[in-house]
Amino acid sequence: MSASTDRDRLVLDLHDRLVEIEQRLIPTGLHIFGKPSVGSERADLLRMVASFDRPETNARALPALVAEGLNLKKLPTPASAPPTGEDEARERDRIAAIVSGAIETFLGGGIDAAALQLQEVAGVRAQDSLPVLSLLEKISQQLETNVEIESLLRALRGQYIEPGPGADIVQNPAILPTGRNTHAINPYSVPSEMAFAKAEAVTDRLVERYLSEHGRHPRAMALVLWGLDNIKTQGEGVAQALWLLGVRPVRDGLNRVTQVEAIPLAALKRPRIDVVMTVSGIFRDLFSPTVELLDRAVRLVAGLDEPLHQNYVRKNVLEQMEVAACEFDDAVVRVFSNAPGNYGTNVNFMVMDSQWESEETLGDLFVTRKCFAYGRDSRGRPIEGREARVAMDRALTRVEATYQNIDTFEIGITDVDHYFEYLGGISKAVEKRARARPAIYLSDSLSRDAKIRTLEETVQLETRAKTLNPKWYEGMLKHGFRGVAEIENRVSNTFGWSATADAVDDWVYTEVAKTFLLDEAMLRRLRDLNPHSAHSLVNRLLEANGRGYWEVDADVLDQLRDIGLELEDQLEGVAG
């Protein structure tokens, strides 16, 4: 392999990563209640909407139309596999530029002007571009007219609020106009046929990723399932759990998913993977029949007469029955949630308040909150939140990988504390019980070809795309006091991934310190806008070092301590 080929590959890889970061940056600022999005923000949003086929409105993805119009052989997919060569990378950039240009023209001059431009520069026929442009027009109009404040007032008066589907705009433009109530979906429709079809590719990638890194299939995985996510995706997370087990949903005469059937091993072409599912309280409440379905799926698979090396559920259940001298019903429990009427893991609160000594406590807290079993026993009697700590502990001893499906364009794993409380919490619980840190994976719906990333990769990507990206933090700082709080929050959520999964590299904290605190001008801005959050940020970084998550030169720590003291003085009103 020549040096220039190596160099070419490196450059392509770099190009690919930059594109990935660029596509990640939505939204750039906070939403202001009642205010429509404007300018470049709206252009970014429309560009993302236009990059997907919308069969429901006969609209094809704009990048694909442009590629066809230009007679390119291969259709590009955003954030998909790396370009195969420099030519392809150049073609992709060219397509992206044409698409962005068309959207600018649309925003300035309407759909006819944009259609004409696409015809002239890329040979896209108007009859092909008009469906997607009309969709953009509709979305653009709906973004102008939100009823958020009016709906809030109606809610406060106890009046009716129109319901609408829940999702983000890119995923499902039908959520517009905003300011409506998210409606739930019929749990018996879950997973939808589309969700089940889509989940196959994601699950394949997930299993392949583990296989490529560990040389064999995972024998058991722990999955996090959330309610709203499964509403938005019609049950993608549920479908992924079913695929891992190697079963498919079966609909009854009323078209309700009430049963599952095993996919034959010959068709599955891999072992059935044991799956421990922790479902949120919201999921438990909204998807009661689905909880039963998942439990039924595990029981079905555990009962299949198959070679144990092809059916890890059966293998693990039989082993557990023997080792622990327990009944099938005790060994087969795999669906866990909070006690009835309870929600959340509290792991986030414990981390945020710094009220813990060893990381083990975080995993133990997760299990304490989530060790309640749901489903039906072998005699068909409902199990509705029975405390099953021992069963959960045992099930987790075999887990080798943990996973959560990420389905949104808007919220990442360092935007809110819920991802680390759940996926981090379960991973820490597994680490103690299995005596090994699990591999931790997330999916990424931004890419149409079902990308799987490790937790570490995802933290790095979000750090580069948002935390350290001037486009992101300047967008936040436009909001003044709240913006500084958002920056501090994001760093604390990142810290949550150190605490629960040791998944944050030293450079992340070093660059945060350099960008926000060691830069005098920036420090002054943060201090003027919100000294409380600036102070918390300093303390969080010092805590990261104190707990062993961040190795850095002593002089950096000294500087941070000094800054912390100055901020303290300021907060206490001591003249500086």
Q: Which residues bind ligand BEZ (CB under 6 A)?
A: 226-228, 280, 282-283, 418
In angstroms, the CA 104 to CA 200 distance is 37
Comparison of 119 and 368: residue with beta carbon closer to ligand BEZ: 368
| Lookup: tokens for 297 | 């799926």
Closest separation in Å from C-beta 441 to ligand BEZ? 19
Residues in the chain: 576
By beta-carbon proximity to ligand BEZ, the closer residue of 420 and 473 is: 420
Please report the beta strands in 377-432, taking only residues with DSSP state E, as ranges in sequence order: 382-387, 401-404
CB of 352 to ligand BEZ, least distance (A): 15
Cβ 464 to ligand BEZ, closest distance in Å? 25
Say what angle helices 481-501 and 455-462 make with each other, to 10 degrees.
160
Cβ(298)–Cβ(332) under 8 Å?
yes
Q: Give least dist CB 283 to ligand BEZ, A.
A: 5
* Minimum CB–partner distance for residue 228 and ligand BEZ (Å): 3
Shortest approach of ligand BEZ to residue 493 CB, angstroms?
13
Considering beta carbons, is residue 20 or 417 the nearer one to ligand BEZ?
Answer: 417
Complex with ligand BEZ: residue 169 or 279, whichever CB lies closer: 279
| Sheet containing strand 220-225, strands side by side | 382-387, 372-376, 335-337, 274-279, 220-225, 401-404, 439-444, 451-454
- Cβ–Cβ under 8 Å, residues 448 and 75: no
Please enumerate in sequence order all residues whose Cβ is within 8 A of that of 38, keeping only pairs 6 or more positions apart, or say none. none
Q: What is the largest CA-CA distance in the chain?
A: 77
Write the DSSP string, 308-355.
Answer: GGGBHHHHHHHHHHHHTT--HHHHS--EEEPSTT----SHHHHHHTT-
Cα(381)–Cα(394) distance, integer angstroms: 23
- For ligand BEZ, the closer of residues 338 and 498 by Cβ is 338
Beta bridge partners of 223: 277, 403
Query: 220 and 266 in contact (C-beta within 8 Å)?
Result: no
Q: Are 507 and 553 in contact (CB under 8 A)?
A: no
177 three-state secondary structure: coil
Considering the complex, what minimum distance in angstroms separates the CB of residue 340 from ligand BEZ?
15
Compute the distance between CA of residue 269 and CA of residue 248 in angstroms, rounded to an integer: 15
Closest approach of Cβ 376 to ligand BEZ, in Å? 22
Please, which residue, 229 or 306, has the CB nearer to ligand BEZ? 229
Smallest separation, CB 490 to ligand BEZ (Å):
17
Give 536-541 contacts, CB < 8 A, sequence gap 24+: 536/488, 536/492, 537/487, 537/488, 537/491, 537/512, 538/563, 538/564, 538/567, 539/564, 540/488, 540/491, 540/492, 540/495, 541/491, 541/509, 541/512, 541/513, 541/517
Q: Given the complex with ligand BEZ, which of 229 and 377 has the nearer CB atom?
A: 229
Q: Judged by CB, which is closer to ligand BEZ: 115, or 426?
A: 426
- Whether residue 352 contacts residue 358, with contact meaning beta carbons closer than 8 Å, is answered with no
Nearest residue (CB) to ligand BEZ, 347 versus 485: 347
Contact (CB, 8 A) for 137 and 111:
yes
Residue 472: CB minimum distance to ligand BEZ, A: 22
Q: Give the shortest CB-27-to-ligand BEZ separation in angstroms.
A: 18
Cβ-based nearer residue to ligand BEZ, 328 or 343 = 343
**Shortest approach of ligand BEZ to residue 24 CB, angstroms?**
21
Residue with smaller CB distance to ligand BEZ, 200 or 415: 415
CA-based nearest residue to 136, from 61, 50, 54: 50
Q: End-to-end alpha-carbon separation of the chain, Å? A: 62
C-beta closer to ligand BEZ: residue 284 or 428: 284
The smaller minimum CB distance to ligand BEZ, of residues 282 and 465, is found at: 282
Query: Looking up tokens 């300011």, which residue turns up?
Result: 179
Min separation Cβ 111 and ligand BEZ, Å: 37
